[in-house]
Structure 1
Amino acid sequence: MESVQLFYWFVESERNPEEDPLLLWLTGGPGCSGFSGLVFEVGPLMFDYAKSRGSGTLPTLKLNPFSWTKVASMIFIDAPVGTGFSYATNPESYGVTDTLAAAHNYQFLRKWLLSNPKFQKNPLYIAGDSYSGIILPILVKTISDGNEIEGGGKRMNLKGYILGNPVTDLSVDKNWRIPFYHKLALISDQFYQATKTNCKGQYINVDSSNAACFQNLQLVSECVRNIFTAQILEPNCFDAATKEAKAFGWDPSNLTHHNQLNLLLPNAFHHTPTWCRSYNYVFSYIWANDGEVQTALHVRKGIKMEWNRCNRSLSYTYDVTSTVPYHKYLINKDYKVLIYSGDHDAVIPYLGTMTWIKSLNLSLKRDWLPWYVGGQVGGYTLQYTQGNYNLVYATVKGGGHTAPEYRPEESLAMISRWLAGFLSN
């Protein structure tokens, strides 16, 4: 384990770091840097695009008024090894699996808490989004099992976990994309019913002899080909980000975004003159690859090549296809759980997330009801229980993949209320 060196970013709670919860944040990918979560999702900093664009100088950062550090201390980790500024001291250690990534995170957290003993008594939550839906439940189970055999001083004060737009079971997640397209009026009733009938409700791993199903899937693909699946209401314009990157002198092949997880149907990206969210990611490459910035961050010299927001060249083996069994194991524990979805995310549709949650066979304590921000509906919640296990499922209205990037104010309200115990009340 010593050969694996995981870089991290730590920010104390802006409210009361001595008592507020401690959140370990796992960014998705796998291979997306914790800095991406810090500046584009839930962290205390964000780029000042108006001051940074076209200035020819280092991009400017400003405070994020909707940071989750308003209510919690947060560790943003560059994991698995090879992500962001994390590195290994020997080539063999770059070979990672889902289960090994969770083990590395566990060792990191143990060492971090030993090095920062003043946070050992704070309520601990493991949080993350997107592909962290695979790593995180494994990590939570590892912590839970470790607590049962450790003495009092070495036990982690784990209180629960938080997952946003989570990859959980790829067969479930991907299979619900077509029903989601139908519900959001991206395909017609006729297309949907024909596809459902001919494919028998199964839209992945289709029998190669089922020509009618393949024909229907091709029609569906044509309907959603130019949809930005991370948030279906935003423009689909990856090439625009590529053009912007070239203006800054950066290799556009490095520019990746959350749409990379669209594993079922291909998307075609076309140039458009409209604003594109992908522009935002360019500034992270410029900032994080600056030599003075890396010196200020104490990045070790000589161990990193070019920083990537999301490293797609990891030596990574996907050895866990579903974490539903891990959730089923954890429902017997005394944990508080929040699962949330941006309701305009077609990458991991809320329909699939609700399906696997229902498969846990928990008792429904509170049915579908709205929650509000500023007098407007921020989303909807369901609450489930089993013994001392309490799970709140929340949608974030207008949220994409992932919700905080698209609806930061609502997402802060959601996490603040959930931590305080009244999101579902």
Structure 2
Amino acid sequence: MKKLNFLLIITLLLLSLRQQDYNIEAQSSDKVVNLPEQPLNPKISHFSGYVNVNQENTRSLFYWFFEALSDSPSTRPLVLWLNGGPGCSSIGYGAASELGPFRVVENGTSLRFNQYSWVQEANMLFLESPVGVGFSYTNSSSDFDNLNDVFVAEDAYNFMVAWFARYPQYKSRDFFIAGESYAGHYAPQLAELIYDRNKVKPKDFIINLKGFIVGNPLTDDEYDNKGILEYAWSHAVISDNLYDSAKRNCDFKSSNWSEPCNAAMNTVFTKYKEIDIYNIYAPKCNTNSSAGASFFGAGDYKSPAVKDWFKRVRWYEGYDPCYSNYVEVYFNRVDVRSSLHATTRDISRWKVCNDSILQTYQFTVSSMLPTYSKLIKAGLKIWVYSGDADGRVPVIGSRYCVEALGLSVKSEWRSWFHNHQVGGRITEYEGGLNIRNGERSWALGSSQ
């Protein structure tokens, strides 16, 4: 018996070492080296590649992972970032334009280090989801007929299980899901799925989920649509007459709008086409091409003084309205694709958003508030922030959603500061939530 036990231990040890060798080999093959235009400092360790989430359809999702820049990265949490749409790339937006360590600039010809990147504090994992977004692909066209919130959450869950098998050293880390816009559905639904699976799965499959973070999130159809209308009127995007017409004809509690309501809301969005709905105070990108055109290519900015003004906006305020054009140029470069191991599938043209997904996506869930209530009771940390310049998913709608949760106020509305300047306002609620409402952001998160 002792001999059999000894042989069993040896067998398990050899299997474990073989698995470790496989993980090291898989991680090594995904390591990104010689990324074109990558800044030399700081030195950033990153990995990218594909993870299969469905063997039958050969459905594979593309990821880009960055190790934390902290002095002790081994103690830092792991954050999964998801962009919305549905159909927009977390690589093109989150990683390369917003909170990743590199920002694509200069018409897609160079990268610069993002000093405000979240990799300063966390290990960041960016996922192109659902299938059909960016470099993610499937061999079955029928997958695109089935896209909905449940399908996407299941694929994301299978991705994380497989990713942790490839990178087991991160499995014990505190894990958070984060995202923006339609990730207001993706993030809480994936969090709920992980929470439910953790209760029934074996110990080796448990994911150390601590909570989720969402910015300007689509949360509840009624409150979000009400917020869109009120924000447009209160920020002088639409006239009093149009506002009154929409209020009179629209019942946002109903999923079937009347014809007068549809007409009024269509006019609201038509007015938004004149500006950038996602940043109403920013200049609009007026290039003729969807991607790759010069920032001044439309002929609207020939004046040297105007060009200089836009340059100041881009570099000092950190915002360039044509950034999505630049990332499309960059990620369509052959040398960039090769470095990122994105050549497994022949994708004729990488796009920052796949509009066809938005057209076929099945919107079957109207409210995430029941999921919020469930996960709050489960003790997960939740942070919802909302910038006040976004007209598509405005702060007003987010505030209505929080009020609908019916939480008691723990600490009254007060200002919070950054570098001795007011950054916004914060209210704490019973049940481990707090709200931040401000010039740049508005947030709801755990006070734990």
Contact 1:241/1:278 (<8 A) preserved: no
The answer on 1:12 being equivalent to 2:54 is: no
Q: 1:217 to 1:309 in 2, by over 3 A?
A: closer
Distance 1:82 1:225 in 2: 26
Alignment partner of 1:88: what SS?
coil
Contact 1:124/1:160 (<8 A) preserved: yes
Q: CA deviation at 1:11?
A: 0.4
For residue 100 of structure 2, what is the aligned residue in structure 1? 43
Aligned match of 1:33 in 64, 84, 89?
Answer: 89
Deviates more, 1:297-306 or 1:103-112: 297-306
Contact 1:11/1:74 (<8 A) preserved: yes
For residue 408 of structure 1, what is the aligned residue in structure 2? none
Alignment partner of 1:342: what SS?
coil
Q: How does 1:57-206 map to 2 (within 5 A)?
A: 59-95=109-145, 96-187=147-238, 191=241, 194-195=244-245, 198-199=248-249, 202=252, 206=257
The answer on 1:280 being equivalent to 2:323 is: yes
Letter in 1 for 2:97: F
Distance 1:243 1:8 in 2: 24
The answer on 1:357 being equivalent to 2:402 is: yes
Q: How does 1:337-352 map to 2 (within 5 A)?
A: 337-352=382-397
Q: 1:39-63: CA deviations, max 9, x gaps?
A: 111111112x3xx34xxxx611121
Distance 2:258 2:433 in 1: 37
Q: 1:338 to 1:241 in 2, by over 3 A?
A: farther
Q: How does 1:205-220 map to 2 (within 5 A)?
A: 206-208=257-259
For residue 306 of structure 1, what is the aligned residue in structure 2? 349
Q: 1:347-391: CA deviations, max 9, x gaps?
A: 1111111111211122222232221111111122222232xxx22
For residue 329 of structure 1, what is the aligned residue in structure 2? 374
The answer on 1:289 being equivalent to 2:332 is: yes
Contact 1:168/1:322 (<8 A) preserved: yes
The percentage of aligned residue pairs carrying the same residue is 29
Q: 1:239-272: CA deviations, max 9, x gaps?
A: 4263873459xxx9xxxxxxxxxxxxxxxxx984
Distance 2:394 2:199 in 1: 35
Q: CA deviation at 1:176?
A: 1.5
Letter in 1 for 2:174: P
Deviates more, 1:102-111 or 1:195-204: 195-204
Q: CA deviation at 1:301?
A: 3.6
Distance 1:131 1:179 in 2: 20
Q: For the pair shown, which has the larger CA radius of gyration, 1 or 2? A: 2
For residue 232 of structure 1, what is the aligned residue in structure 2? 280
Distance 2:333 2:271 in 1: 42
The TM-score with structure 1 as length reference comes to 0.78
Deviates more, 1:26-35 or 1:140-149: 26-35
For residue 369 of structure 1, what is the aligned residue in structure 2? 414
Q: 1:272-327: CA deviations, max 9, x gaps?
A: 43649342222211211111111111123443221111111235322222222221
Q: CA RMSD in A?
A: 3.1
Distance 1:151 1:28 in 2: 31
For residue 434 of structure 2, what is the aligned residue in structure 1? 392
Q: Which runs of 5+ in 2 are unaligned?
A: 1-53, 311-318
The TM-score with structure 2 as length reference comes to 0.74
Q: Which runs of 5+ in 1 are unaligned?
A: 253-269, 404-413
Aligned residues: 371
Deviates more, 1:145-154 or 1:162-171: 145-154
Letter in 2 for 1:227: I
